[in-house]
Each structure stands twice: as structure tokens, then as C-alpha cells.
């Protein structure tokens, strides 16, 4: 009995202590200043006064665990949705689907948004490629042969792939961890012009100049072995591709936008939607360039869509409760409802 009283006394003391800490912490929590937005942080600058783009960009894993948003003309779309109570909904919507889209919406959707405008003879080729897409990919994609993604599909332009930038007044080095293997490019900012006799390559030749706080990158000499990577109907390009990229750093945020010109295949320049990237935390144990090796995919085993074999997303089972357990269907419905609040219209674009 005595031991029991001692136990009660210990528990009571602990409760009082926790309650006291809670009372003390309440004013501190209420008075805590709001978190500073990345774009409101000071912008670091080089000795010449231009923004220093140095940092690890697009590799911040936390970016994936945020709700999908579309801030005006800026696409800020992520692939994993977190419901308000903290549950994570992994969403796979197929070759032309946007995040959070139901399969019937994908099947009945109009043309994907912001696709490149091809000349008729090349538009037919693009549509033929599109018919081979299944589950978000196709065996025709050059990245399955470990060919570099090129410009603008690599790094900042093509998605949330880890990218490390090193800046100097003379040149800027952009290194891609997975594009689809490790690749790099140099943007010369020392006033030079493009070489007159230039062989084409996957990354081409890039020169840059500053327009205020925006780095304007001009790239030519690109071969025709890469894809633009802008969705189901924006794939191929010629070796006359010319890309203008605009990269702006404001605080700890980069804004990226590209204009692709191709007088051979396109009827007009293709202007991509602006994308924003946040500087990854200064944590060398988590954010650093890791060694990568691209392995050619066994394309013979990539499934092709047929009239009787249609792709369905991971949540398209007839009975989600039977597959994932009781309550899965309700969780799916709730996640769908929350995802629709910020859905990008059309889907499948860049």
C-alpha cells in the first residue's frame, strides 16, 4: 500500500510539473514570431553585386509533403498530398493525369495545358509517340537509354530533381544529380559569345547575362536526341532548338522559366510556366550531391496500353477497403476532396 501511495505521489508530481510547463509555454508559443518565408530572406550576393545562386536546389524532400497549390501563373505542384490530420496520400494519375485526378477525369479531360505548338508534320509524330505512353512513360523516351535529359528537361526546368549550383562572376556551374545520371553544364557569364563552329551536344553551349537580379541564359548547339519533357504532347525537338532560361533568386527561393524556340518543328516559341524552388537547409548529412549511376531500363518489359489493358491509378480499385483495410475508401474520398481544392486544370502539361 505504501508503495502505491508513493507511486500516486510521483504521478501527481509529474502531472503538476507537465501542467506547469504547459502554462509557461503557452505565452511563449503565442508570442512566437511567424516563420520567415524563403523569399523574404536576405539575398546573398557575389562581389560584383549580382545574386549568388550557389546552393542545393530542388532536392528538399519536404517539398513533396505539401499540399498541391497553383499560385497564379506559377505551377507549384507536388506528388504526395498530406491530409489535414497528417495522413499521406500517394497519388499516381497516369500518363496525362494531374495530381489528385480521378481516372474518369483523365479520360474525359481536354487537351493538356501549355503544350508546344508543332507544325502539322511534326504534330503527327508527337501524337504517334503519345499513343505509346502508358502509366506515365513510354519505351520511346530517350532517358530509358540513359541519354541526358538536355535543356530544359534537366534539373530546375524539368522537375524537382536535386541540383547544385556554384556561382562566380566568370561562370556558373549547374550540376544535376539525376538527369537521368549525373551531368553538369557551364553557363559562361564573362561576356563571351557562342563559338562560331559549334558541334551539337546534349547540354549545348550556354552563355548568360544579368537583367537586374535575373540570370538570362542563352543555350544553342543542342542535339535532337533529347525530349522537351513537357507532357504527353511536348516531346521531340530538332537540332535547331534554342532555349532562353530566366533564373531569379529572391531570398532563399529561385524562380525558373524557359522559352524554347525551334524554327524547324514549332510554329511559335514554347514558354514554360514559371516554377519555384526553395533552397535546401544547410544540413550536409541530408542535402548533398550523391553518386548516381543510370541503368538502362529493360524496355522490353515496359507495358504498352491496349484496348483491354487500360492504366488505372493506384487508388482505382473497386473496393479500396478490401485492398488497404477498413476505412481506406473513406480516406481516399477525403484526400480527393482536399486535393481538388488546388487542382491544376487539364493535367499532363509541363
User: What pLDDT, in 10s, does the model give residues 41-88?
Assistant: 999 999 999 999 999 987 444 444 444 344 444 333 444 455 556 665
Q: What share of the chain has pLDDT > 70, as a percent?
A: 67
Mean pLDDT of 202-225: 98
Per-domain residue ranges of the chain: 1-32, 55-278
Is residue 222 within 8 A of residue 202, CB to CB? The reply is yes
Check residue 40 and give its pLDDT. Answer: 93
Lowest pLDDT segment from 130-144, 174-188, 211-225, 228-242 = 130-144
Check residue 301 and give its pLDDT. Answer: 74
> Between 65 and 30, where is the model more confident?
30
Q: What is the CA angle 149-347-177, rounded to 5?
A: 25
In whole angstroms, give the CA distance from residue 251 to residue 335: 33
Mean pLDDT of 304-313: 71
In whole angstroms, give the CA distance from residue 79 to residue 61: 11
Q: Is 191 left (phi over 0), alpha (psi -120 to 50) or beta?
A: left
In whole angstroms, give the CA distance from residue 235 to residue 141: 9
DSSP string, 237-261: --TT-EEEEEEEEETTEEEEEEEEE
In whole angstroms, give the CA distance from residue 143 to residue 150: 10
In whole angstroms, give the CA distance from residue 145 to residue 23: 61
Q: Is 278 left (phi over 0), alpha (psi -120 to 50) or beta?
A: beta
Residues 6+ apart with CB under 8 A from 137: 95, 144, 302
Amino acid at each position: 500500500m505504501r508503495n502505491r501511495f508513493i507511486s500516486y505521489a510521483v504521478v501527481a508530481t509529474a502531472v503538476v510539473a507537465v501542467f506547469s510547463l504547459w502554462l509557461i509555454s503557452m505565452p511563449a508559443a503565442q508570442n512566437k514570431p511567424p516563420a520567415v518565408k524563403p523569399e523574404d530572406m536576405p539575398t546573398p550576393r557575389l562581389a560584383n553585386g549580382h545574386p549568388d545562386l550557389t546552393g542545393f536546389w530542388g532536392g528538399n524532400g519536404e517539398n513533396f509533403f505539401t499540399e498541391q497549390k497553383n499560385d497564379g501563373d506559377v505551377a507549384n505542384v507536388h506528388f504526395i498530398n498530406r491530409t489535414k490530420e497528417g495522413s499521406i496520400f500517394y497519388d499516381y494519375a497516369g500518363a496525362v493525369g494531374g495530381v489528385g485526378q480521378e481516372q474518369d477525369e483523365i479520360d474525359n479531360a481536354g487537351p493538356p495545358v501549355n503544350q508546344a505548338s508543332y507544325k502539322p508534320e511534326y504534330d503527327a509524330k508527337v501524337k504517334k509517340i503519345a499513343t505509346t505512353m502508358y502509366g506515365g512513360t513510354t519505351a520511346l523516351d530517350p532517358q530509358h537509354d540513359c541519354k541526358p535529359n538536355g535543356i530544359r528537361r534537366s534539373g530546375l526546368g524539368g522537375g524537382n530533381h536535386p541540383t547544385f549550383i556554384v556561382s562566380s562572376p566568370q561562370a556558373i556551374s549547374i550540376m544535376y544529380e539525376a538527369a537521368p545520371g549525373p551531368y553538369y553544364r557551364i553557363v559562361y557569364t564573362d561576356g563571351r559569345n557562342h563559338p562560331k563552329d559549334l558541334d551539337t551536344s546534349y547540354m549545348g553551349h550556354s552563355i548568360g547575362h544579368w537583367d537586374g537580379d535575373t540570370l538570362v541564359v542563352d543555350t544553342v548547339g543542342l542535339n535532337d536526341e533529347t525530349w522537351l519533357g513537357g507532357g504527353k504532347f511536348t516531346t521531340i525537338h530538332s537540332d535547331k532548338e534554342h532555349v532562353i532560361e530566366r533564373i531569379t533568386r529572391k531570398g532563399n527561393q529561385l524562380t525558373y522559366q524557359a522559352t524554347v524556340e525551334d524554327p524547324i518543328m514549332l510554329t511559335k516559341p514554347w514558354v514554360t510556366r514559371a516554377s519555384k524552388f526553395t533552397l535546401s537547409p544547410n544540413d550536409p548529412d541530408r542535402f548533398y550531391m550523391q553518386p548516381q549511376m543510370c541503368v538502362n531500363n529493360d524496355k522490353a518489359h515496359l507495358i504498352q496500353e491496349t484496348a483491354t489493358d487500360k492504366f488505372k491509378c493506384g487508388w482505382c480499385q473497386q473496393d479500396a477497403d478490401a485492398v488497404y483495410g477498413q476505412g481506406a475508401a473513406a480516406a481516399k474520398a477525403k484526400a480527393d476532396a482536399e486535393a481538388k481544392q488546388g487542382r491544376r486544370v487539364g493535367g499532363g502539361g509541363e
